[in-house]
Chains A and B, each alone.
Chain A
Amino acid sequence: AQSVTQLDSQVPVFEEAPVELRCNYSSSVSVYLFWYVQYPNQGLQLLLKYLSGSTLVKGINGFEAEFNKSQTSFHLRKPSVHISDTAEYFCAVKKAGNMLTFGGGTRLMVKP
């Protein structure tokens, strides 16, 4: 069985500051890794994905994430956040088929 742990339930940060949202996963086999963002009262939007190849992946809205196989981590980063980045962020893994296993989410709160 696989599981996903998002280590911080809430991350407050000031506007224009850098941010890192942490994600660790457990799986005995290779997985595909994803970060999704959810704005209030909306569905999930894909930020970025790691399928294979370069361990540093870039996504939309200036976000990037680094896959670390030895530490089974896939942390999300942004060098300078905006008020509009305030949202819930979900890390997810996929093994076989299309079933996604999500973490509990991290609420990013950007303050002016």
Chain B
Amino acid sequence: ETGVTQSPTHLIKTRGQQVTLRCSSQSGHNTVSWYQQALGQGPQFIFQYYREEENGRGNFPPRFSGLQFPNYSSELNVNALELDDSALYLCASSPQYRGNTEAFFGQGTRLTVV
């Protein structure tokens, strides 16, 4: 059984550009969540996707958007990048969208905005 995989592992972008980060969920998991972890801080919830629809969102502006595909993989898109978007972006998958299920995290994508 493969775990959660994210690509790319590192990325450098210029302020104002757009970026797409990708996540393959663990086999059998239909729910994907994205988190932003700024340096020295705990992860912050961005949003969650279940069956290709967003069903929960944290305090992030609309320029943070996502997609979930029929195979449950997911993308995080960030438009008009700002310097403060520099962070580790973590994807987590779960076998269902509610209840006492744990989230399994990928290794993350380190985004640097210059």
Binding site for B on A (CB under 8 A): 4, 32, 34, 36, 41-46, 49, 51-52, 90, 92, 96-105
Cα distance, A68 to B101, chains bound together (Å): 21
A44→B98 contact, CB < 8 A: no
B45→A45 contact, CB < 8 A: no
B53 at the interface (CB under 8 A from A): no
Cα distance, A44 to B103, chains bound together (Å): 10
A98→B90 contact, CB < 8 A: no
Which single member of A42, A101, A105 contacts B45 (CB below 8 Å)? A101
Interface string of B1-44 (1 = CB under 8 A from A): 00010100000000000000000000000010101000011111
Q: Given the complex, which residues of A lie within 8 Å of B56, measured CB to CB?
A: 97-99
Q: Given the complex, which residues of B lie within 8 Å of A32, measured CB to CB?
A: 100
Q: Given the complex, which residues of B lie within 8 Å of A4, measured CB to CB?
A: 42
Which single member of B48, B90, B107, B108 contacts A97 (CB below 8 Å)? B48
B105→A98 contact, CB < 8 A: no
Interface size on B, residues (CB 8 A): 30
B71 at the interface (CB under 8 A from A): no
Min Cβ gap B64→A in Å is 15
B79 at the interface (CB under 8 A from A): no
Q: Given the complex, which residues of A lie within 8 Å of B48, measured CB to CB?
A: 97-99
- Residue of B at shortest CB range from A44? B105
Known contacts being A43-B108, A97-B56, A98-B97, is A90 close to B42, with CB within 8 Å? yes
Cα distance, A42 to B9, chains bound together (Å): 10
Cα distance, A100 to B56, chains bound together (Å): 11
Interface string of B52-94 (1 = CB under 8 A from A): 0001101000000000000000000000000000000010101
18 CB contacts below 8 A, A to B, read: A4-B42, A42-B108, A43-B107, A46-B104, A90-B43, A92-B42, A97-B48, A97-B55, A98-B31, A98-B33, A98-B101, A98-B103, A99-B48, A100-B92, A102-B43, A102-B44, A103-B42, A104-B41
Known contacts being A44-B105, A97-B56, is A105 close to B42, with CB within 8 Å? yes
Known contacts being A43-B107, A44-B90, A98-B33, is A49 close to B42, with CB within 8 Å? no
